[in-house]
Amino acid sequence: MAEKRTKVKKPTMVDVAAKAGVTIGTVSHVINKTAPISDETTERVLAAIKELGYKPNSIARALRTKKSYVIGFLLPDVTNDFYSPVLSSFIDSAYQDGYTVLVVSYQYSSKREEIEMERLADKNVDGILLFNGCDDLALLQRMRAEGMPIVIADRRVDELDLPTVEFDNVATVSKVIGMMCKKGYKRIGFLSESTRLRNLNDRYEGYKKGLMENGLSVNPELVYISEDMEMNNLEKGYSYIKRILENTDKENLPDSIFATTDLLAIGAVRAFKEAGFRIPEEIGVVGFDNISFTDFIEPKLTTVEQDKTLMGRIAWDIMKSTLAGENKKTQHVILPQKIIVRESC
């Protein structure tokens, strides 16, 4: 009567054991099916559990077993259209297997990324999914040495032989360039933000490879890489192309553009249209990502689709097998991308 607002304390195994007239060992065994218990007592224990509303304490269990069923997911930015679907699908997949995920974003700061890696390890997660990042090989190496399972998404780490999932950017982009060549474009431009990020750099490699394979050489005049990393590329693609249009003689202009993101491509399309160019007749444009707007602009954007849901699922699969210690060989999964041909090229 007086204990109204005292924080209700939850029943423990001891309570269950008492109520069922057995010992906690037996209770544990019926819960975990870790020893043969007679139907009769099993039933009594189950009844007691139900009656008391008993739930095993996951912390105590984790302390004992050294497994928390929590995975850390470290990514540059939760808000990003590319990362968040992967995260979402990873969470869902992990959920199916009874795991839950601690999400941490490092806002593109390697400093912070490093700190967060440590924090995750200190939180005793069972494994860490590292999404596109970590220049700090030493840290990765140390964590691995300490036995922390790590899997990397959207980035190769050639130096360290960690399990990875990534898209096949080089191959896909070179295929895109091949397609553009087949359509008759000869002066294919490359529009991108800084290629410091591995996957963007891979797209650049694919661009060069594609040109080579089609007997074209890389013309530095046609490589438009802007070093600043800020987003809202929509505006940036627009103003960038506009500037080029103003400062370049007609004969030195590209006859087509491969942009590393749809936002950039959409901005470019607008700039070209404003300047009176007809797309795709006079200028071909290809984007990357297949965001919903690509199907909506005029002309509809030719682009590349990446199955982010698949990446999240595969990332989890790899994590799971890594946790299970089935490491015959380190897994490296390379996911294909899909070229979506619409109207702009």
Partner DNA sequence: TTGAAAGCGCTAACAT
Partner DNA sequence: ATGTTAGCGCTTTCAA
Among 105, 172, 192, 337, binds a second copy (CB under 8 A): 105
Which residues, 263 to 322, sit near a second copy by CB under 8 A? 263, 266-267, 270, 292-293, 295-296
Shortest distance, position 105 Cβ to a second copy, whole Å: 6
Nearest in space to 254 (alpha carbons), one of 276, 226, 281, 222: 222
Q: Which amino acid is at 317?
A: D
Residue carrying structure tokens 């220049």: 135
Stretch that binds a second copy, among 79-87, 176-184, 209-217, 248-256 (CB under 8 A): 79-87
42-75 burial by CB neighbour count: b if 16+ within 10 A, else e?
bebbeebbeebebeeeeeebeeeeeebbbbbbbb
Cβ atoms of 132 and 154 within 8 Å: the answer is: yes
Q: Which does 296 bind (CB under 5 to 8 A by kind): DNA, a second copy, none?
A: a second copy
Q: Which does 270 bind (CB under 5 to 8 A by kind): a second copy, DNA, none?
A: a second copy
Q: In this complex, which beta carbon is closest to DNA, that of residue 23 or of residue 252?
A: 23
Q: Which does 248 bind (CB under 5 to 8 A by kind): DNA, a second copy, none?
A: none
Cβ atoms of 312 and 87 within 8 Å: the answer is: yes
* Paired tokens of 155: 């980035």
Q: In this complex, which beta carbon is closest to a second copy, that of residue 174 or of residue 261?
A: 261
Cβ atoms of 271 and 245 within 8 Å: the answer is: yes
Q: Which residues bind a second copy (CB under 8 A)?
A: 7-8, 10, 55-60, 62-63, 68, 70, 77-79, 84-85, 87-88, 91-92, 95, 100-105, 107, 119-124, 145-147, 232, 234-235, 238, 263, 266-267, 270, 292-293, 295-296
